[in-house]
Amino acid sequence: MSTTLPVELDDIQGLVRFGYKHHTEASFLLLRVSDRDAARRWLATVPVCTAETIEPPPETALQIALTGDGMRALGVADAIVDAFATDFVTGMAGDANRARRLGDVGANDPGQWQWGAGARMPHVVVLLYALPGKLAAFQRAIEAQCAACFERITCLTTSDLDGIEPFGFMDGISQPLVDWQRKRRAKDAERDEYTNLSCLGEYLLGYPNEYGGYTDRPLLDADVVGSRLPHAEEAPERADLGRNGSYLVMRQMRQDVHGFWQFVDRCAGGNAAARDRIANAMVGRDRAGVPLVGPANETIEGGGVPGDLNAFTYRSDPHGVRCPLGAHIRRSNPRNADLPPGRPGIVSWAMRTLGFDAEALDQDLVASTRFHRLLRRGREYGVGVSLAQALAEPTASTETGLHFICLGANIARQFEFVQNAWAMGVHFDGLPNESDPLLGTHLPSADGRPTDGFSIPRDDGADERITGLPQFVTVVGGAYFFLPGIRALRFLATT
Ligand code: HEM
């Protein structure tokens, strides 16, 4: 296998490479197949925007992803569908254990979702992106085409809040740098330094991942498939249905902006500076995106240059005095290497790896970051609420929140791990029974102990401990999709 094989940008959906930032308008059509043949015909020919660079950017871009149920509804053989990853096939809301692990209990229970469970499980999501002013006509045209093939569950609208998520913090600052040139040596060898450069195979099936292996995917008989699909790199006699495709995780997360700021304000006794300090601590950045651990002046492979908002790790802040261990961004990307930090040398190495070092024991709960990166592609929805409005009495407000979207080649190792072990994990990094302050349900744990606290370490004594956190974010829909390569999409529609 050569690592210099060109990447087939014309066979990859654009969303893997671009966030479509110029396309400030977007909507997501959640559909169920109503006429199989018509749906297959449409999917076999609909123009899908690829990952090739187009200058100037196209006015509109359309992307397509399918659920496992959707593939079956299109007539794809069970043997093919079942060769995709089990988590994808079972689905986000497909079993109670998964729901529990993801924190989809209580108010997040899939039984109450607006979409993503039961008869409201989408078969297809059509993601529409458009330059300002261009969405409405584009959407009308696509919906007219879809009407003959699909029943519409809903259309998820989005809002351009200027890069600020509804709680008021700048979002979309940190992303892994995908190794499109395939220069990163993919192998399962311990890395001493945090790197932001990430193997292509972490996001696209059919390429080596951070373990140096290929993620399992449906490999078909090339003699039968002919030239309709690319060949598998590691098994050229097999046709690769996964190659150039990615799993797409979508979760609609309603944000209680009033609840968030009013709670923080109460904790701060109405003091504006204290309010900012506590809210920033929960996120791990201030509202302008400046990381609390700063100054951001480290040089990180693939991670920007000193001074930018991503040039940092938590190495200089092991106890969370500047950025709490439980802050949202520290949980969702601990920015560590493969071994817990420690002094160099064989004795230190043995102590850390064998777990004799008390500090390393806490760190053991924080697995190596490079296996758990997410390419985030979410969009906000609803009406933005200013801080002043959030602090005032709630008025009859419309729903606001985040259509969280992330891409990855392995849902279990990437999204589910981050969500379960890091965000929902109540002992993350040795913390005393608390989950992600933004995302947690804060329901008592199985043994009845409260998980509604948030610790802010101090350098001069005991942690400041905030308790009684209500749930600020509620999951109201979600599903696992597969965003196929273009040839794979056409194959699925015609097989
Ligand atoms: C309504 C829900 C959410 C809100 C309000 C939210 C908010 C934020 C904010 C303000 C940032 C900092 C901006 C940045 O670093 O790019 C961030 C970063 C991040 N979030 Fe979230 N987030 C939400 C849900 C999630 C979920 C469900 C996950 C994954 C399970 C997640 C994973 C991440 C990751 C990986 C980062 C980047 C961390 C880093 O690399 O330093 N977020 N989020």
Q: What is the pLDDT of residues 149-206, one digit of tens each?
A: 999 999 999 999 999 999 999 999 999 999 999 988 766 567 888 999 999 999 999 9
Q: Would you say residue 363 has pLDDT above 70? A: no
To test the ligand 1 pocket, which listed residue (174, 280, 335, 419) has its Cβ within 8 A of the most ligand atoms? 174
Cα separation, 35 vs 161, whole angstroms: 37
Percent of the chain, pLDDT > 90? 83
pLDDT at 184: 83
The per-residue pLDDT for 365 is 58
Residue 353 scores a pLDDT above 60? no
Q: Which atom of ligand 1 is nearest to the CA of 419?
A: 30
- Ligand 1 centroid – CA 277 distance (Å): 18
For residue 352, pLDDT beyond 60: no
418: Cβ below 6 Å to ligand 1?
yes
Q: How confident is the model at residue 358 (pLDDT cuts 50, 70, 90)?
A: very low
- 281-294 pLDDT, tens per residue? 999 999 999 999 98
Q: Is 476 in the pocket of ligand 1 (CB under 6 A)?
A: no
Nearest protein Cα to ligand 1, atom 33: 332
- What integer is the mean pLDDT of 299-303? 88
Q: Quick one: pLDDT at residue 343?
A: 46
Ligand 1 near 26 CB (within 6 A): no
Sign of the C-alpha dihedral computed for residues 300, 303, 309 and 315 taken in this order: negative
Q: Which atom of ligand 1 is nearest to the CA of 406?
A: 29
Q: From the alpha carbon of 284, which atom of ligand 1 is closest?
A: 12
- Contact 283 CB / ligand 1 (< 6 Å): yes
How far does the centroid of ligand 1 lie from the alpha carbon of residue 333, in Å? 9
Rounded-to-integer distance, Cα 434 and Cα 211, Å:
31
- Report the pLDDT averaged over residues 25-36: 98
Could you read off the pLDDT of 234-262 as tens digits, one per residue?
A: 999 999 999 999 999 999 999 999 999 99
**For the chain, what is the mean pLDDT?**
92
Contact 473 CB / ligand 1 (< 6 Å): yes
pTM: predicted TM-score of the whole model, two decimal places: 0.95
- Judged by phi (left if over 0) then psi (alpha if -120 to 50, else beta), residue 135 lies in alpha
Within its chain, how far is the Cα of 137 from the centroid?
29
Tell which residue, 202, 47, 42, has the closest CA to residue 123. Answer: 42
Characterize the bridge pairing of strands 246-255 and 375-376.
unpaired
Task: Decide: 424 in ligand 1 pocket, CB within 6 A.
Answer: no
* Ligand 1 pocket, residue 327 CB under 6 Å: no
> Residue with the nearest Cα to atom 19 of ligand 1?
329
Q: Which residues contact 203 (CB under 8 A, 6 or more apart)?
A: 16, 178, 246, 375, 407, 408, 409
Q: What is the mean pLDDT of residues 195-223?
A: 95
The arithmetic mean of pLDDT across residues 37-48, rounded, is 98
Residue 360 has pLDDT above 60, yes or no: no
Q: Can you tell me the distance from the alpha carbon of 175 to that of 203, in angstroms, rounded to the nearest whole number?
A: 12
- Whose CA is closest to atom 12 on ligand 1? 171
* 444 pLDDT tier (thresholds 50, 70, 90): very high
Which numbered atom of ligand 1 lies nearest the CA of 423? 30
In short, whether 309's Cβ falls inside 6 Å of ligand 1 is: no
Tell me: the pLDDT tens digits for 117-142? 999 999 999 999 999 999 999 999 99
- For the segment 30-55, the average pLDDT, to the nearest whole number, is 98
The minimum-distance atom of ligand 1 relative to the CA of 169 is: 10
